[in-house]
Protein backbone atom coordinates (compact mmCIF):
# COMPACT_ATOMS: atom_id res chain seq x y z
CA UNK A 1 0.00 0.00 0.00
CA UNK A 2 1.21 3.51 -0.82
CA UNK A 3 2.96 5.20 2.09
CA UNK A 4 1.43 8.53 3.10
CA UNK A 5 3.47 10.98 5.17
CA UNK A 6 2.01 14.40 5.95
CA UNK A 7 5.23 16.23 6.83
CA UNK A 8 7.67 14.92 4.22
CA UNK A 9 10.21 17.62 5.09
CA UNK A 10 10.54 16.38 8.67
CA UNK A 11 10.48 12.77 7.43
CA UNK A 12 13.33 13.40 4.95
CA UNK A 13 15.45 15.25 7.51
CA UNK A 14 15.10 12.33 9.91
CA UNK A 15 16.23 9.85 7.24
CA UNK A 16 19.25 12.00 6.40
CA UNK A 17 20.09 12.28 10.10
CA UNK A 18 19.76 8.57 10.92
CA UNK A 19 20.64 7.03 7.56
CA UNK A 20 17.80 4.52 7.98
CA UNK A 21 15.29 4.03 5.15
CA UNK A 22 12.69 2.31 7.35
CA UNK A 23 9.84 0.07 6.21
CA UNK A 24 9.24 1.87 2.88
CA UNK A 25 12.74 2.42 1.44
CA UNK A 26 11.62 3.48 -2.04
CA UNK A 27 9.30 6.14 -0.66
CA UNK A 28 12.01 7.25 1.77
CA UNK A 29 14.47 7.74 -1.09
CA UNK A 30 11.90 9.73 -3.07
CA UNK A 31 11.27 12.03 -0.09
CA UNK A 32 14.99 12.57 0.43
CA UNK A 33 15.39 13.31 -3.29
CA UNK A 34 12.58 15.88 -3.14
CA UNK A 35 14.22 17.39 -0.08
CA UNK A 36 17.52 17.84 -1.92
CA UNK A 37 15.68 19.35 -4.90
CA UNK A 38 14.02 21.84 -2.52
CA UNK A 39 17.50 22.73 -1.24
CA UNK A 40 18.61 23.61 -4.76
CA UNK A 41 21.05 20.73 -5.27
CA UNK A 42 21.88 19.63 -8.81
CA UNK A 43 20.92 16.22 -10.16
CA UNK A 44 24.48 14.89 -10.06
CA UNK A 45 24.87 15.82 -6.39
CA UNK A 46 21.44 14.36 -5.56
CA UNK A 47 22.34 11.10 -7.30
CA UNK A 48 25.58 10.84 -5.35
CA UNK A 49 23.84 11.39 -2.02
CA UNK A 50 21.02 8.96 -2.74
CA UNK A 51 23.53 6.42 -4.05
CA UNK A 52 25.45 6.64 -0.75
CA UNK A 53 22.21 6.19 1.22
CA UNK A 54 21.27 3.13 -0.82
CA UNK A 55 24.71 1.58 -0.36
CA UNK A 56 24.57 2.21 3.38
CA UNK A 57 21.30 0.31 3.70
CA UNK A 58 22.15 -2.47 1.27
CA UNK A 59 18.53 -2.96 0.14
CA UNK A 60 18.97 -2.13 -3.57
CA UNK A 61 21.52 -1.51 -6.29
CA UNK A 62 21.33 2.19 -7.12
CA UNK A 63 21.75 1.59 -10.85
CA UNK A 64 18.57 -0.52 -10.86
CA UNK A 65 16.32 2.09 -9.24
CA UNK A 66 17.97 5.44 -10.07
CA UNK A 67 15.74 6.35 -13.04
CA UNK A 68 12.54 5.44 -11.19
CA UNK A 69 13.50 7.39 -8.07
CA UNK A 70 14.57 10.52 -9.96
CA UNK A 71 11.39 10.52 -12.06
CA UNK A 72 9.22 10.21 -8.94
CA UNK A 73 11.14 13.02 -7.23
CA UNK A 74 10.25 15.42 -10.04
CA UNK A 75 6.50 14.70 -10.02
CA UNK A 76 5.73 17.14 -7.23
CA UNK A 77 7.34 19.21 -4.50
CA UNK A 78 7.98 18.12 -0.92
CA UNK A 79 4.90 18.25 1.34
CA UNK A 80 4.88 19.97 4.71
CA UNK A 81 1.35 19.35 6.06
CA UNK A 82 0.97 19.79 9.81
CA UNK A 83 -2.34 17.91 10.09
CA UNK A 84 -5.63 17.06 8.41
CA UNK A 85 -8.50 18.90 10.17
CA UNK A 86 -11.93 17.33 10.63
CA UNK A 87 -14.94 19.55 11.36
CA UNK A 88 -17.91 18.81 13.61
CA UNK A 89 -20.26 18.91 10.62
CA UNK A 90 -18.16 16.20 8.96
CA UNK A 91 -18.33 14.00 12.06
CA UNK A 92 -22.11 14.50 12.16
CA UNK A 93 -22.42 13.47 8.50
CA UNK A 94 -20.33 10.36 9.17
CA UNK A 95 -22.34 9.40 12.27
CA UNK A 96 -25.56 9.40 10.21
CA UNK A 97 -24.39 6.19 8.55
CA UNK A 98 -25.57 2.90 9.95
CA UNK A 99 -22.77 0.78 11.43
CA UNK A 100 -19.30 1.67 12.68
CA UNK A 101 -17.55 0.01 9.74
CA UNK A 102 -19.31 2.24 7.21
CA UNK A 103 -18.53 5.25 9.40
CA UNK A 104 -14.87 4.30 9.53
CA UNK A 105 -14.78 3.88 5.76
CA UNK A 106 -16.28 7.30 5.15
CA UNK A 107 -13.86 8.85 7.67
CA UNK A 108 -10.97 7.34 5.70
CA UNK A 109 -12.35 8.66 2.41
CA UNK A 110 -12.83 12.11 3.94
CA UNK A 111 -9.28 12.28 5.30
CA UNK A 112 -7.79 11.01 2.03
CA UNK A 113 -9.81 13.53 0.01
CA UNK A 114 -8.52 16.36 2.22
CA UNK A 115 -4.96 15.06 1.91
CA UNK A 116 -5.15 14.96 -1.89
CA UNK A 117 -6.68 18.44 -1.90
CA UNK A 118 -3.49 19.59 -0.15
CA UNK A 119 -1.33 17.75 -2.67
CA UNK A 120 -3.24 18.96 -5.72
CA UNK A 121 -5.27 22.14 -5.31
CA UNK A 122 -7.72 21.29 -8.12
CA UNK A 123 -8.36 17.76 -6.81
CA UNK A 124 -11.93 18.72 -5.81
CA UNK A 125 -12.37 16.05 -3.09
CA UNK A 126 -11.56 13.03 -5.26
CA UNK A 127 -9.97 9.82 -3.95
CA UNK A 128 -8.30 7.25 -6.21
CA UNK A 129 -7.37 4.06 -4.35
CA UNK A 130 -7.99 0.37 -4.76
CA UNK A 131 -10.80 -0.75 -2.48
CA UNK A 132 -8.50 -3.15 -0.61
CA UNK A 133 -6.25 -0.24 0.37
CA UNK A 134 -9.19 1.86 1.54
CA UNK A 135 -10.48 -0.95 3.72
CA UNK A 136 -7.02 -1.65 5.09
CA UNK A 137 -6.69 2.00 6.16
CA UNK A 138 -10.16 1.75 7.71
CA UNK A 139 -9.06 -1.35 9.66
CA UNK A 140 -11.92 -3.33 8.11
CA UNK A 141 -11.49 -6.95 7.04
CA UNK A 142 -14.38 -8.07 4.82
CA UNK A 143 -14.80 -9.90 1.52
CA UNK A 144 -14.55 -8.12 -1.83
CA UNK A 145 -18.32 -8.45 -2.23
CA UNK A 146 -18.92 -6.68 1.07
CA UNK A 147 -16.40 -4.01 0.16
CA UNK A 148 -18.47 -3.18 -2.93
CA UNK A 149 -21.68 -3.25 -0.89
CA UNK A 150 -20.25 -0.83 1.68
CA UNK A 151 -19.10 1.55 -1.05
CA UNK A 152 -22.55 1.34 -2.63
CA UNK A 153 -24.18 2.08 0.73
CA UNK A 154 -22.12 5.26 1.03
CA UNK A 155 -23.10 6.27 -2.49
CA UNK A 156 -26.80 5.62 -1.85
CA UNK A 157 -26.75 7.91 1.20
CA UNK A 158 -25.23 10.73 -0.85
CA UNK A 159 -21.92 10.70 1.04
CA UNK A 160 -19.84 9.89 -2.07
CA UNK A 161 -20.20 9.65 -5.83
CA UNK A 162 -18.42 7.84 -8.67
CA UNK A 163 -16.73 9.58 -11.57
CA UNK A 164 -18.99 9.41 -14.62
CA UNK A 165 -16.76 7.00 -16.52
CA UNK A 166 -17.25 3.27 -16.81
CA UNK A 167 -13.49 2.60 -16.55
CA UNK A 168 -13.00 4.56 -13.31
CA UNK A 169 -13.47 3.64 -9.65
CA UNK A 170 -12.51 7.10 -8.41
CA UNK A 171 -14.69 8.31 -5.53
CA UNK A 172 -15.63 11.91 -4.71
CA UNK A 173 -16.44 12.77 -1.10
CA UNK A 174 -19.58 14.92 -0.83
CA UNK A 175 -19.61 15.57 2.93
CA UNK A 176 -16.36 17.53 3.08
CA UNK A 177 -16.70 20.90 4.82
CA UNK A 178 -13.76 23.33 4.92
CA UNK A 179 -15.88 26.27 6.08
CA UNK A 180 -16.20 25.41 9.78
CA UNK A 181 -13.53 25.03 12.51
CA UNK A 182 -11.89 21.68 13.18
CA UNK A 183 -12.83 19.67 16.27
CA UNK A 184 -10.19 16.99 15.63
CA UNK A 185 -6.94 16.67 13.69
CA UNK A 186 -5.26 13.73 11.97
CA UNK A 187 -1.46 13.71 12.32
CA UNK A 188 -0.74 10.13 11.21
CA UNK A 189 -2.15 8.45 8.10
CA UNK A 190 -1.90 4.91 9.48
CA UNK A 191 -4.85 3.04 11.05
CA UNK A 192 -7.33 5.77 10.16
CA UNK A 193 -10.25 3.54 11.08
CA UNK A 194 -8.91 3.16 14.61
CA UNK A 195 -8.35 6.91 14.76
CA UNK A 196 -12.04 7.46 14.03
CA UNK A 197 -12.89 5.12 16.89
CA UNK A 198 -10.57 7.06 19.18
CA UNK A 199 -12.11 10.40 18.20
CA UNK A 200 -15.64 9.21 19.02
CA UNK A 201 -14.56 8.04 22.47
CA UNK A 202 -13.91 4.33 21.94
CA UNK A 203 -10.97 2.64 23.76
CA UNK A 204 -8.20 3.40 21.27
CA UNK A 205 -5.03 5.44 21.76
CA UNK A 206 -1.91 6.70 19.97
CA UNK A 207 1.29 4.82 20.88
CA UNK A 208 3.68 7.03 22.84
CA UNK A 209 6.66 5.62 20.92
CA UNK A 210 5.66 5.25 17.25
CA UNK A 211 2.41 7.21 17.16
CA UNK A 212 0.25 4.51 15.57
CA UNK A 213 -3.31 4.22 16.88
CA UNK A 214 -4.22 0.90 18.43
CA UNK A 215 -6.89 -0.62 20.69
CA UNK A 216 -6.45 -0.14 24.43
CA UNK A 217 -6.32 -3.41 26.34
CA UNK A 218 -5.15 -2.02 29.69
CA UNK A 219 -6.01 1.10 31.66
CA UNK A 220 -2.60 2.80 31.57
CA UNK A 221 -1.37 1.38 28.27
CA UNK A 222 1.18 3.65 26.57
CA UNK A 223 2.58 1.53 23.74
CA UNK A 224 1.27 -0.50 20.80
CA UNK A 225 2.05 -4.25 20.93
CA UNK A 226 5.09 -3.96 18.64
CA UNK A 227 6.69 -1.12 20.61
CA UNK A 228 5.81 -2.72 23.95
CA UNK A 229 7.55 -5.93 22.87
CA UNK A 230 10.66 -4.05 21.72
CA UNK A 231 10.81 -1.91 24.87
CA UNK A 232 10.33 -4.93 27.15
CA UNK A 233 13.12 -6.78 25.31
CA UNK A 234 15.41 -3.76 25.72
CA UNK A 235 14.65 -3.50 29.44
CA UNK A 236 15.25 -7.24 29.88
CA UNK A 237 18.68 -6.90 28.28
CA UNK A 238 19.49 -3.87 30.44
CA UNK A 239 18.58 -5.80 33.61
CA UNK A 240 20.72 -8.71 32.45
CA UNK A 241 23.71 -6.42 31.81
CA UNK A 242 23.27 -4.76 35.21
CA UNK A 243 22.89 -8.05 37.08
CA UNK A 244 26.04 -9.55 35.57
CA UNK A 245 28.04 -6.29 35.46
CA UNK A 246 28.46 -6.54 31.71
CA UNK A 247 29.47 -3.28 29.97
CA UNK A 248 26.89 -2.23 27.33
CA UNK A 249 29.52 -1.98 24.62
CA UNK A 250 30.48 -5.62 25.13
In a domain, 143, yes or no: yes
Q: How many CA atoms lie within 13 A of 200 on its CB side?
A: 14
Residue 101 near residue 142 (C-beta atoms within 8 A): yes
Q: Do residues 16 and 111 both lie within one domain? A: no
Of 32, 47, 74, which one is at a domain's C-terminal end?
A: 74
Q: Do residues 160 and 70 both lie within one domain? A: no
Strands (E), the chain: 84-87, 126-127, 160-162, 171-173, 182-186, 204-206, 213-215
| pLDDT at 242 (0 to 100) | 80
| pLDDT at 250 (0 to 100) | 45
Q: Do residues 131 and 167 both lie within one domain? A: yes
In a domain, 211, yes or no: no
Residue 224 near residue 43 (C-beta atoms within 8 A): no
| pLDDT at 219 (0 to 100) | 83
Residues 129 and 1: their CA atoms lie apart, in Å, by 9
In a domain, 141, yes or no: yes
Q: Do residues 101 and 175 both lie within one domain? A: yes
Domain carrying residue 101: 84-199
Question: Chain-centre distance of CA 205, in angstroms?
Answer: 16
Q: How many CA atoms lie within 13 A of 165 on its CB side?
A: 7
Q: pLDDT in tens for each of the 250 residues of the chain?
A: 678 999 999 999 999 999 999 889 999 999 999 999 999 999 999 999 999 999 998 888 899 999 999 999 999 999 999 999 999 999 999 999 999 999 999 999 999 999 999 999 999 999 999 999 999 999 999 999 999 999 999 999 999 999 876 567 899 999 999 999 999 999 999 999 999 999 999 999 999 999 999 999 988 899 999 999 999 898 888 888 787 778 765 4
Q: Do residues 138 and 181 both lie within one domain? A: yes
Q: Do residues 130 and 230 both lie within one domain? A: no
Among candidate residues 89, 81, 107, the one with its CA nearest the CA of residue 183: 89
In a domain, 1, yes or no: no
Residues 203 and 223: their CA atoms lie apart, in Å, by 14
Of 46, 74, 102, which one is at a domain's C-terminal end?
A: 74
Q: Do residues 194 and 147 both lie within one domain? A: yes
In a domain, 185, yes or no: yes
Q: How many CA atoms lie within 13 A of 15 on its CB side?
A: 30
Q: Do residues 88 and 70 both lie within one domain? A: no
| pLDDT at 33 (0 to 100) | 97
In a domain, 250, yes or no: no
In a domain, 204, yes or no: no
Residue 142 near residue 153 (C-beta atoms within 8 A): no
| pLDDT at 167 (0 to 100) | 63
Among candidate residues 23, 1, 5, 26, the one with its CA nearest the CA of residue 131: 1
Q: Do residues 103 and 132 both lie within one domain? A: yes
How far apart are the two ends of the chain, measured CA to CA in Å? 40
- Output the domain CATH number for residue 105: 1.10.10
Q: Do residues 23 and 109 both lie within one domain? A: no
| pLDDT at 249 (0 to 100) | 59
Q: Do residues 57 and 125 both lie within one domain? A: no
In a domain, 54, yes or no: yes
Residues 110 and 172: their CA atoms lie apart, in Å, by 9
**Domains in the chain, number:** 3
Q: Residue by residue, what is the 3-state secondary structure of 12-72?
A: HHHHHHHCCCCCCHHHHHHHHHHHHHHCCCCHHHHHHHHHHHHHHHCCCCHHHHHHHHHHH
Of 74, 93, 111, which one is at a domain's C-terminal end?
A: 74
Q: Do residues 179 and 122 both lie within one domain? A: yes
Amino acid sequence: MKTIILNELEFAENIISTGALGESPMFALICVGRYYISQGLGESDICDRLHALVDKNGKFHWSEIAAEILTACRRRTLLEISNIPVAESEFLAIKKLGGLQRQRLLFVLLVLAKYHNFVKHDNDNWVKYEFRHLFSLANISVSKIKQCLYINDLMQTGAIEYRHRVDSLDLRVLVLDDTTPAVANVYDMRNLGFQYMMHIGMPFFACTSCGITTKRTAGKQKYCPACASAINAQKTMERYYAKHNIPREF
